[in-house]
Amino acid sequence: MEHSEDSVHVNVLPPNKEKIKKLWTVAGILGAVTAVEFVIAFAMHHGPLKTAIFIGLTIVKAGYIVGEFMHLRYEVKVLFWSILIPMIFVIWMLVAFVYEGIAISDVR
């Protein structure tokens, strides 16, 4: 392979220790939040508060995945908001349809 015609010279840089450490920190946070969710699943009674905590922790995890792993936090603001703003419709969709579901349940 070393003598092949199309071999190109590539300048390999050393690992970015600081960046790699940060990525593992984010991984640790994601693991820890999942562990906390797991504990809450059995430590708390079912109810609106438990659901709210789960949704809150899920948004924390989503923030770390999209912001750090997918690098969106460091992108240009136009791109950042172009992705985030449309998701507002999903929040409304969730609220509206669950409300509708409860209404259907009352009619039954």
Partner 1 sequence: MSSTTTAAPGRSEWDGGVSPMGVSYGKLMMWFFLLSDAFTFSALLVTYGLVRSSHDAYQGAVDAFTFSQAYWPIPEKVFEAVPFLHGVSLPLVFVGIMTFILIMSSVTMVLAVEAGHRMDRKAVEKWMLWTIVGGLAFLSCQAWEWAHFIHGAEAGDAVAQGTTFFGANLSHNQYGPPDFAAFFFFITGFHGFHVFSGVCLNFLIYYNTVMGTYDRRGHYEMVEKVGLYWHFVDLVWVFVFTFFYLV
Q: By CB under 8 A, name the binding residues for partner 1.
A: 6-8, 10-16, 19-20, 23-24, 27, 30-31, 34, 37-38, 41-42, 46, 50-51, 54-55, 57-58, 61-62, 65-66, 69-70, 74-76, 78-79, 82-83, 86-87, 90, 93-94, 97-98, 100-102, 104-105, 108
For residue 95, the minimal CB distance to partner 1 (Å) is 9
Nearest to 80 by CA among 70, 94, 91, 90: 70
For residue 66, the minimal CB distance to partner 1 (Å) is 7
Nearest residue (CB) to partner 1, 3 versus 24: 24
- CA-to-CA distance for 37 and 7, rounded, in angstroms? 50
**Residue whose entry in the numeric block shows the structure tokens 């992108």:** 75
Q: Can you tell me whether residue 103 is helix, strand or coil?
A: helix
For residue 12, the minimal CB distance to partner 1 (Å) is 5
What six digits make up the tokens of 90? Answer: 């999903």
Nearest to 29 by CA among 55, 54, 64: 64
